[in-house]
Amino acid sequence: MCTGCVYSVRALTDSLGLGSIRCCTWNRSIELQRPADAAAIDLVASDALIVKSSKKSPLALRMVVFAMTMICGIFICTMCMKQLGSDSLSRIVKIEVAEQLCNKSAILPSEVHFVHYPQPITYSRSECKCTPVRFFAIISSQRSGSGWFETLLNSHMNVSSNGEIFSSKERRSNISSITKTLDKVYNLDWNSSASKNECTAAVGLKWMLNQGLVANHADIADYFNRRGVSAIFLFRRNLLRQLVSQLANNHDRYLKQLNGTHKAHVHTAYEASILARYKPILNTTSLIQSLKQVDDYTRDALENLKSINHITIYYEDLIRNRTKLLDVLDFLKVPRSKLVSRHVKIHTKPLSEQIENWDEVYNALNGTQYESFLNADYRI
């Protein structure tokens, strides 16, 4: 009970001849001591107020105590709610003030939407609070060089790409799960080996088309555009090489040729040579249709996601010319630096030495729109 409440009750008891009333706010109860004179006290004042002893009218006295307790309780709850509200408001004000203190004059008006100042809840980013962060996603398909490409980006001291997060079916079960996961990543609350000691200037993930991306393309495009997320489209031009890589990877998934362990990527030439020994036999009857389906699937996905701020790169271009990586760093607005990877390429030989039934494949594709896949498209 408030102090004013205590004074009011005390004045009332003094005038009535009651012994004393003790009133507390939190953990004490209100106690009324019986007056020295047990006889009824009749007080006739100008306002004709009549108060009788607690012995003759206990119900009335209890009602008075109950009412005063309720009033004090409501007062306390109101003050607590106001205090909580002011704390939340002060937190918002602090965040806004922190952003206002950062110098944003170097940011072009067209780039403001893509510049963020995350406030993670798992740790303090106070030392990096004025380092703007770009959100990105590497959008690709299996065996397109995305694993190698991501390790290159993660070698940059200011870039953190958190891997193939949506390989977990639970995280992509519905659009609500997807956006919840994305919010955690872009708020810098996702813990992975990609976390850096330096201030993060670009944060993202690797996302395969068949991991809920195509199925929810409209909602995801809306999320990216609303949150200012940029996309790095990474694909392969030579779909035949991609098919050989997929079949070889599936083969090793079952046989586990490296000491009983399946490895989609290797770090030594010896391991690469073991995995490259497998030469798949392709079904030439359905080969053209299979290549067309993959081509159409990718083209449709790019068409549905074209509204997103993006850059498109191809694996073959990165192999031929590593300076293409500088275009990606410029796109992410991070300082240029040398990027390195420990990944070792598995299939380095011409396709004629990697496909068991090469002659049949050559005859099936020669003279078609996929004839260019038969030729060497890059040198290692």
> What is the Cα–Cα distance from 181 to 283, expressed in whole angstroms?
39
Looking at residue 61, what is its pLDDT?
A: 82
Residue 360 vs residue 110, higher pLDDT: 360
The band of 351, judged by pLDDT with boundaries at 50, 70 and 90, is: very high
Please give the mean pLDDT across all residues of the chain: 83
* CA distances from residue 246 to 40, 159, 192 in whole angstroms, order as listed: 99, 28, 26
Tell me if 179 sits within 8 A of 173, measured CB to CB. no
Burial of 212 (C-beta count, 10 Å sphere; 0-12/13-18/19+): buried
> What is the Cα–Cα distance from 132 to 303, expressed in whole angstroms?
30
Give the residue among 243, 312, 252 at the shortest CA–CA distance from 277. 252
Looking at residue 193, what is its pLDDT?
A: 77
The band of 42, judged by pLDDT with boundaries at 50, 70 and 90, is: very low
**Whether the predicted pLDDT of 178 surpasses 70:** yes
Amino acid at 6: V
Q: Which residue has the tokens 């990718």?
A: 298
**Whether the predicted pLDDT of 86 surpasses 50:** no
The band of 59, judged by pLDDT with boundaries at 50, 70 and 90, is: confident
For 101, the 3-state DSSP assignment is helix
Q: Residue 318 corresponds to which tokens in the numbers above?
A: 């990165």
**Whether the predicted pLDDT of 18 surpasses 70:** no
For the chain, list the domains and their CATH numbers: 125-374 (3.40.50)
Lowest mean pLDDT, pick from 6-15, 158-167, 226-235: 6-15
Q: What is the pLDDT of residues 203-249, one digit of tens each?
A: 999 999 999 999 999 999 999 999 999 999 999 999 999 999 999 99
For 160, the 3-state DSSP assignment is strand
Helix ranges, the chain (H): 3-16, 58-101, 146-154, 175-186, 217-227, 239-255, 269-275, 287-304, 315-320, 324-332, 358-365
| Rounded (10°) angle between helices 3-16 and 58-101 | 160
Looking at residue 88, what is its pLDDT?
A: 43
Looking at residue 73, what is its pLDDT?
A: 78
How much is the pTM? Answer: 0.74
What length is written for the chain?
380
Residue 21 vs residue 155, higher pLDDT: 155
Looking at residue 326, what is its pLDDT?
A: 97
**Whether the predicted pLDDT of 96 surpasses 80:** no
The band of 32, judged by pLDDT with boundaries at 50, 70 and 90, is: very low
Q: What is the pLDDT of residues 250-301, one digit of tens each?
A: 999 999 999 999 999 999 999 999 999 999 999 999 999 999 999 999 999 9
- CB neighbours (10 Å) of residue 332? 23
Looking at residue 28, what is its pLDDT?
A: 39
**Whether the predicted pLDDT of 2 surpasses 70:** no
Looking at residue 134, what is its pLDDT?
A: 98
* CA distances from residue 324 to 178, 312, 334, 368 in whole angstroms, order as listed: 31, 11, 15, 30
